[in-house]
Structure 1
Amino acid sequence: MQTDFLVIGSGIAGLTYAVKVAEAYPDKEVLVLTKTHSDETNTKYAQGGVAGVWNFDTDTFQKHIDDTLIAGDGLCNKEAVEVVVNEGPSRIQEIIDWGADFDKDENGEYLLGKEGGHSENRILHYKDVTGKEMERAMLHKVSQLPNIKVINHCFVIDIITQHHLGYLVMKTTPDIECFGVYVLNLKTRHVEKIIAKVTFIATGGNGAVYRSTTNPGIATGDGVAMVYRAKGRIENMEFIQFHPTALYENGLRGQSFLITEAVRGDGGILRNHKGEAFMERYDERRDLAPRDIVARAIDNEMKIEGTEFVYLDCTHMDQEKFQKHFPNIYQKCLSIGIDVFKQYIPVSPAAHYSCGGIKTNLHAQTSIHFLLAAGECTSTGLHGANRLASNSLLEAMVFAYRGAAHAIQIFKSQQSNYISNTENIEALFPDWNANGTTNPKEMIMITQSLKELQMLMSDYVGIVRNNERLVRASTRLDTLHLETEKLYKSSIVSPQLCELRNMITVAYLIVKGAQFRLESRGLHYNTDYPAKSKIPQNIVL
């Protein structure tokens, strides 16, 4: 198969890019691949909202920039921050024009929420399902463009580069080029080649590496792992944001229900098992301190008390307003026997967002030519060492838009990879070689390795780390890597095996980044290096 524009992922970043290039080139095909259904993305599960300067009577771009830089703890790229904050409102208005709905007051003005780290109310939201609403609007817009083709149930295995033509490709190779991907069609179970002039990665995060996460099960870090294997640059993977308030359900493993930070923005109070409002002991901003501070505070309270959760107190909040703003949270809590107006909500931190990822520039370019990326799978410089709440959807739209503009320029200037105009391009690349492989005799080899991976990452590379834990995690990962690579080489590929392989790669990158960072900064807290270094540095692998 050949296409002009290839998009991997159907979240807010992938669909924004697809719409923009499709509108610019209505005679060109835009192919969007997703490994499950087109609406099953990290975007769908974003509750709180999207941040943007909207009320210029009280808010300014500079305030939003300053808030983002403070949260990023010295590692933000200021230029990237300025680009996202200044261009963000235009992208928000665009998705509104495409049909996205955000909550308004009785006068028709947008209701603006406030979350941790923000100095002003600037969060646009739709109840507590903002991401789902934005995804709905995007998919509707995509359906109106006939040159966009969405194919579900396609698992992208690897990026095609000169390596597949027999050339030696290393990290130092200056002109690595992307020609497309190998993809496992989950319906036919065949691995197919897709050759593309420009490839765009928007594969989301990697929360599934941890035992408890607010991400869906598909968040397995596929894009980051593929780019790393293709010798692309990966940055700051040690900065994993743990959302402070995931709903605690005894015995649950995997995706946890998110209690959005907007609940604390509206007045929710964190309390320990003694009923004490403890956040005032950790930060003057109390419950609305940045997420890294709140998550560490909760982690410390749990360790002091020997418990697995703390409480979020909403009993004093306006009942009508709560049910209108947070209907899904209210119903979810009721479903497990908690009336939020009479009982505290048990919460604990869960892996939520990766601030690092594929290193990109201000035009969504990766270190591999003709390979662009945006969204959670990237490291754009916006988040630095800690993401400011509700900046993620904004970042995805802005850099997807910029990536599309760059891809359009490639076509306008007739630049493309050196084989793009060659006849019978597909024949240049080898077909997927499955000779000598068989189906695994037992799936337990995969499922047990996954459990072990998630356990060691949660226990050793969580909110608080130290050198001994990181060494132990690295040693265990080496063993898992060797076992899984042996299984991969002898087995017919499956999504379960490929995801495990990708997650081990991502876990390795998180651990290595953490070992190289000899300080505590933002989301990375190492008890052996509790102070910040004088000169902030990015860790590029």
Structure 2
Amino acid sequence: MRRSADVVVIGSGAAGLSAALGLAATRNVLVVSAGSGSTPWAQGGIAAAYGDDDPLDHAHDTEIAGAGFCDPRTVRALVEEGPQRLAELIALGARFDRDSDGSLSRTLEGGHDRHRVVHAGGDASGAEVHRALHQAVQLAGVRTVTGRAVGLIKSGFGQIAGVLVEEDADVSQIDARAVVLATGGIGNAYLASTNPSTVRGDGIALALQAGASLVDMEFVQFHPTALFTGDSTGQLPLVTEAVRGEGAVLRDVAGRRIMTDVHPRADLAPRDIVARAIESTMRRDGCEHVWLDARSIPEDTIRRRFPTVLASCRRIGVDMLSEPIPVAPAEHFLCGGIRTNRDGATDVPGLYAVGEAAGGGVHGANRLASNSLLEGLVFGRRVATALTLDLPAASYGQPSWLTLGEDREPDRIRAILTEHAGIRRDGAGLQTALDELESAGDGPLATVARTVVAAAITREDSRGCHWRSDHPRTDERWNRHLVIRLDEEGRPAVRQLLQSAAT
């Protein structure tokens, strides 16, 4: 089957749906979806500074969490446009929690200096955001194809001209003047992640094959508090940072607090700091998890604010009302990605990226809590605006088909990346990973795994969520971004940029 559209959006999370909705009135847009991505699983909420909260304070917290590696102009777009995008989402019917006076309820999360995270259903924010956007896209009449994007079409003049989609056992072609990659991060490239299994780096691998650049792939964020279920593989339930925002504290096996002397904000330090502290504690004590003690939080608050966490704990036989929760870090979010400008354009004509798949510089070396849904709303709309104003002309010439390969032994790839490119890294382990991945095939998992390892072995310092035990300090000589493209043999080649991550 062959179809056509002005714009094809690959992915139906917050970023992809925001882009599609913004295009619906002016362009013939089609969404390709292999699942809803990570958006429905997001618990915390949307960070938004409005009223007596200055967006510049939100920007300051974002840049501190990002270890000074954020692009300031991109961050400013995020924090200044964010409240308007949130208001539009509410106008679409999104139901956020409110206080008794009718105002939006705002909570505190790690890295923020004040209560600015709005939430829905207590800890079901992502599900409500996805519901509202999905319903709006349906009402706007946007076409949707259920399937997995397995290739891009490139014209003889080097411009993206469409996408190949696997539907059931057949591959169909969709011609387009622009393709927007909103495929999420690389969670399933690790053994344990908070992401669903469909999030495995397909869009990033496709972009590389098309000739696009990646940036900052070494910055892989691990959420400090995934629920320890006894099975350390697959998608793990999240224990939202907002639980700590309401007063929960982390303790070691002996009941001692972990974060008291680690950071001035203690349990509400940025995620990279908390995750490293937990990993060090687990290594020191020889245990598989630590404890999150939420027993100081009133029972009615837990039932109202954290019904999802409460239910997840009960499924493994833990009552968070009366006993501590076993937690451990798990892969959560890619802070780099496909190199874009603030309007989502890559360095390949006709190819755009948005959301976690994109590396536009908003997160720097570590993402601030609850900036991800906000990023999807803000930059999804920016991509839509750019393509409304200036849609690329149709491109001709003999086309080429750029398709994803197959991964050999995907579980082995995940094990390699988990062992050598997790929270703690060193040069010897990263070199071992690079050697072992050489024979792993050319599928999306192997491709993204190689880019993470290549960037991590190149960066010989520690900052944000990239921690080298053999280079444990931040080195000013590495105040530069790492850009990756495929070489003639299809392997990642790293070069260093002095300028900002954004083009």
TM range (shorter): over 0.9
- 1:524 partnered with 2:432: no
Per-residue CA deviations over 1:200-230 (Å, capped at 9, x if unaligned) read: 1100111111111000001101111100111
Secondary structure of the residue aligned to 1:157 is: strand
User: Are residues 1:465 and 2:461 paired?
Assistant: no
Q: Which residue of 2 aligns with 1:159?
A: 152
Contact conserved, 1:193 with 1:431, CA < 8 A, in 2? no
Question: 1:183-216 CA distances to partner (integer Å, 9 max, x unpaired)?
Answer: 2122xx1222211011111001111111110000
Contact kept, 8 Å, 2:221 with 2:465, in 1: the verdict is yes
Aligned to 1:35: 34
Distance 1:182 1:337 in 2: 45
Q: Does 1:119 align with 2:79?
A: no
Deviation digits for residues 314-337 of structure 1 (CA, Å, limit 9, x no counterpart): 112110011100011112212221
1:106 aligns with 2:100: yes
**Within-5 A mapping of 1:61-460:** 61-126=55-120, 127-146=122-141, 148-152=142-146, 154-162=147-155, 165=156, 176-186=158-168, 189-411=169-391, 415-419=392-396, 428-429=398-399, 446=408, 449-460=409-420
Secondary structure class of the residue paired with 1:525? coil
Residues in 2 aligned to 1:533 and 1:176: alpha-carbon distance in whole angstroms: 39
> Deviations for 1:430-474, whole angstroms, at most 9, x for unmatched residues?
78999xx9xx9xxxx95xx11111111111110010000000110
Q: Secondary structure at the match of 2:114?
A: coil
Structure of greater Rg: 1
2:461–2:475 contact (8 Å) kept in structure 1: yes
Higher helix share: 1
> How far has the Cα of 1:252 moved from its partner?
4.1
Deviation at 1:281, TM superposition (A): 2.4
Equivalent pair of 1:386/1:523 in contact (CA under 8 Å): yes
Output the amino acid matched with 1:34: S
Counterpart CA distance in 1 for 2:196 and 2:238 is: 11
Kindly indicate whether the alpha-carbon contact (under 8 Å) linking 1:264 and 1:288 is maintained by their aligned counterparts in 2: yes
Specify the SS of the correspondent of 1:284: coil
Q: Deviations over 1:302-325 (max 9, x none)?
A: 000000000000112110011100
Separation in 2 of the partners of 1:74 and 1:100? 33
Secondary structure, counterpart of 1:136 in structure 2? helix
Counterpart contact for 2:151–2:403, Cα < 8 Å: no
Distance 1:176 1:384, change over 3 A: farther
How large is the Cα RMSD of the aligned pairs?
1.8
Deviation at 1:363, TM superposition (A): 1.1
- State the secondary structure of the residue aligned to 1:3: strand
2:47 corresponds to which of 35, 48, 51: 51
Deviations 1:124-183 (A, max 9, x none): 00111100000000011011112x10111x111122114xx4xxxxxxxxx731111122
Superimposed CA distance per residue, residues 215-252 of structure 1 (whole angstroms, 9 cap, x where no aligned partner): 00011011111001111010001100000000001134
Q: Secondary structure at the match of 1:121?
A: coil
Whether contact under 8 Å (2:153, 2:402) holds in the other structure is no
The amino acid of 2:165's aligned partner reads V
- Structure 1 runs of 4+ with >3 Å offset: 428-434
Tell me, in whole angstroms, the C-alpha distance in 2 between the residues paired with 1:431 and 1:110: 48
Q: CA contact under 8 A between 1:474 and 1:511: conserved in structure 2?
A: yes
User: CA separation in 1, counterparts of 2:373 and 2:136?
Assistant: 17
Deviates more, 1:219-228 or 1:526-535: 526-535
Letter in 2 for 1:418: S
Q: Distance in 1 between matches of 2:321 and 2:94?
A: 31
Q: Where do 5+ consecutive residues of structure 1 fail to align?
A: 166-174, 420-424, 486-500
| 1:101–1:433 CA distance, 2 compared to 1 (3 A) | closer
Verify: 1:506 aligned to 2:486, yes or no: no
User: For residue 51 of structure 1, what is the amino acid of its counterpart?
Assistant: A
After superposition, the Cα gap between the structure-2 partners of 1:433 and 1:336, relative to the gap in structure 1 and judged at 3 Å, is closer
- 8 Å CA contact 2:151–2:402 kept in 1: the answer is no
Distance 1:506 1:277 in 2: 36
User: How far is 1:341 from its partner?
Assistant: 1.8
How far apart, in 1, do the equivalents of 2:19 and 2:376 lie?
10
The answer to whether the 8 A contact 1:192-1:432 is kept is: no
The letter for the 2-side match of 1:387 is: R
Kindly state the Cα deviation for residue 429 of structure 1 after the two structures are TM-superposed. Answer: 3.9
Kept in 2, the 8 Å contact 1:271–1:312? The answer is: yes
Q: Output the amino acid matched with 2:187.
A: G
How does the TM-score come out when normalised to structure 1? 0.86
Q: What one-letter code is carried by the residue in structure 2 that aligns with 1:181?
A: V
Q: 1:538 aligns with which of 475, 481, 502?
A: 481
- 3-state DSSP of counterpart to 1:524: coil
CA distance in structure 2 between the aligned counterparts of 1:176 and 1:398, rounded to whole angstroms: 29
Q: Tell me, what secondary structure is at the counterpart of 2:259?
A: helix
Contact persistence 1:242–1:352 (CA under 8 A): yes
Where 1:181 maps in the other structure, the secondary structure is strand
Q: Residue 245 of structure 1 aligns to which amino acid in structure 2?
A: T
Once the two structures are superposed, residues 30-85 of structure 1 have per-residue CA deviations (whole angstroms, 9 ceiling, x without a partner) of 1100124xxx321111100010003x23x211110110111111211001011110
Which SS does the other structure have where 2:284 is aligned? helix
SS at match of 2:171: strand
Instruction: Give me the identity figure in percent.
Output: 38
Q: Is residue 191–residue 432 contact of structure 1 (8 Å, CA) maintained in 2?
A: no
- Aligned residue for 1:396, secondary structure, equals helix
- Tell me, in whole angstroms, the C-alpha distance in 1 between the residues paired with 2:429 and 2:215: 22
Q: TM-score, normalised by structure 2?
A: 0.93
Mapped partners of 2:264, 2:135: distance in 1 = 44
Pick the structure with more strand per residue.
2
> Structure 1 431/215 Cα, relative in aligned 2: closer, same or farther at 3 Å?
closer
Report the more deviating stretch, 175-184 or 9-18.
175-184
The answer to whether the Cα contact below 8 Å between 1:41 and 1:218 also exists between their aligned partners in 2 is yes
Provide the rounded CA distance (Å) in 2 between the counterparts of 1:118 and 1:176: 43
Instruction: Indicate if the aligned counterparts of 1:225 and 1:505 stay in contact, CA closer than 8 A.
Output: yes
Distance 2:99 2:177 in 1: 46
In structure 2, C-alpha distance between the alignment counterparts of 1:252 and 1:466, rounded to whole Å: 22
8 A Cα contact 1:49 1:390, kept in partner: yes
